Structure 1
Amino acid sequence: MDIDLLVIYSDELDACRAFYAGLGLTFAKERHGAGPEHYAAELDGTIFELYPSSARRPATGSLRLGLTLPAGAGATPGRHTLTDPDGRTVVLTVQEQT
């Protein structure tokens, strides 16, 4: 079994997009039918979406997300614990150069 979709609802949509884009994700703005505009990126076959929160879909609360970047991605190798603009924990692992 593989995870193929991850959706995060955010009170700080544009700030979250900028945060995750700064980690190397490339987002496209999307809208499905009458739904809200949101951002989507693909991570090795998994779709990662950022949606605006609403009364119907409140912000995704506590979440710990792990992401791995390849060596040479412009970040210091090792494990880094970050916090996104909505306060969620992001554990970023940057691989060592080989």
Structure 2
Amino acid sequence: MPHLHLIVIKTSQPDLLSGFYTSLGFQFHYHRHGNGPFHYASVGEGPLLEIYPLPKNVTVADHTTRLGFTVANVDDILQKLPEATIISAPELTEWGYSAIIQDPDGRKIELLQA
């Protein structure tokens, strides 16, 4: 079965998004490949998360993509985020203890406790 190894999101506010995803536990390097745009790329295990600037002809970031991350402690992460970011408070579901949050561009993110 294939496994996911790369997620690329594009935004008009890459610095803000890198800070947001850092609060979820990601660490980033800021770099570019050749003449391409500077962007953030996560380091460490799991899928590579890259945060790129929007292409020049695009003015609004996609907010219909939904992401999901398994984290060590949902409650600890939620304490680091503004209340406006929390869409659904943590609860125990049939899939485990989880919450839904929203990144600064409006993408919904499910946090599932490991």
Instruction: Give the TM-score, by structure 2 length.
Output: 0.71
Partner of 2:111: 92
Q: CA RMSD in A?
A: 2.4
Partner of 1:70: 72
Distance between the aligned counterparts of 1:32 and 1:88, measured in 2? 26
User: Structure 2, unaligned stretches of length 5 or more?
Assistant: 79-89, 91-96
Stretch moving more, 48-57 or 65-74: 65-74
Contact 1:63 1:88 in 2 (8 A): yes
Distance between the aligned counterparts of 2:48 and 2:106, measured in 1? 21
Partner of 1:47: 48
Distance between the aligned counterparts of 2:43 and 2:34, measured in 1? 20
Amino acid at match of 1:44: E
Runs (4+) of structure 1 exceeding 6 A deviation are none
Matches within 5 A, 1:1-98: 1-42=2-43, 44-56=45-57, 59-71=61-73, 74-75=76-77, 78-95=97-114
Q: Sequence identity, in percent?
A: 35
Q: How many residues end up aligned between the 2 structures?
A: 95
User: Structure 1, unaligned stretches of length 5 or more?
Assistant: none
Contact 2:69 2:109 in 1 (8 A): yes
Instruction: Give the TM-score, by structure 1 length.
Output: 0.82
Amino acid at match of 1:93: L
SS in 2 for 1:36: coil
Q: Kindly indicate which of the two structures has a greater share of residues assigned to helix.
A: 2
